Amino acid sequence: METLKKTCLYDSHVALGARMSPFGGFVMPISYTDIIAEHNAVRGHCGMFDVSHMGEIYVSGPEAGKLVSRIFTNDISGMQPGKILYGMMLYPEGGVVDDLLVYRMPGPSSYMLVVNASNIDKDAGWIRSAAGGMDVLVEDRSESYGQIALQGPDAEKVAASVLGMDLSGLAFYTFTETGAGDERIIASRTGYTGEDGFEFYASPAVIRRLWVSLLSAGVTPCGLGCRDTLRFEAGLPLYGHELGPDISPLEAGLGMFVKTDGHDFIGKAAYEALKAAGPARRLVGIELVEKAVPRAGYPVEAGGETVGEVTTGYISISTGKSVCMAFVRTPCSAPGTEVGIRIRKRTFPGKVCRKIFYDKRYKK
């Protein structure tokens, strides 16, 4: 039986009465009070998440850039310290090893790769195997970091008033560093909720202090339950649902994060071949006519046959609509196409729509 890990904030979650559950090899808070209340706190004000389960893998050395470019679908050429890029690592066959953020760290050649919790060991091994004989150092520093995500329209004000951090000048997908040694904090502005917000990476001791400060100031602690409802409404993928070893970024609608011009990477040939042939399925949004919950795994039907499968679905908390993301056969992927979701013994009618159900409010 797998031994579940605990984040540096585990004791606080238990003390707050959080509902805990396994996730990505960790025992994590799903909710503290109510998923709807936590979701609305982020949409209307701000909330904070323990995301210390995420992995941080450093790649450094003379050929660090060469290695990152080899494994990463986005183009890091010309990337300056303080910048962040989103992209994926691909298998040679074109499926996704993981989706991740690449931070260009200060120094001559250093990168921090932020990966999904369930993939830390796999990703570290994959990166090392891709390094071959390159002059690089690959370090899994995940145990050295805790991480808090502060998300919501008031996140900037809260960071200033509670944490004493003026992050108003921090652009979208950039980061800054404060402190030194064990007190060093990396503050970035990316987000996974569709709202403005920040991520704070620091030692477990520092993260515990930041968490207590925010909690004492009345910031709402939020669990992974509403993190999923928030990211889903914003059309953001979750590995294992909208991405995976058998899913191409092209099928998932993430081709904008795959740069093939003048950039060679593992899986490029398979990606280009699929692009030339056209994928047999695509990820779409679907809105149902009636109120129902289209859960992951439910079949999508059209013309009396199964044409796809739901990846994530909810009654959207922000809009009240019954919506889902699903992979469907390409001929059924055009907006307005009439489809149905099979929920137990009944098929609920709906239509294909854009897979962003809530307009993002990032500060760019």
Name the binding residues for substrate: 199
Beta strand ranges found along the chain (DSSP E): 19-23, 26-31, 47-50, 55-60, 84-90, 96-104, 110-115, 137-140, 146-151, 175-178, 185-188, 197-202, 220-222, 281-288, 299-302, 305-315, 322-329, 338-343, 346-353
CA-based nearest residue to 330, from 289, 293, 277: 277
Cβ contacts of residue 124 below 8 Å, gap of 6+?
55, 57, 138, 140
Name the binding residues.
199
Bridging pattern class, strands 110-115 and 55-60: antiparallel
Cβ contacts of residue 22 below 8 Å, gap of 6+?
4, 28
Angstrom distance (rounded) from CA 253 to CA 259: 14
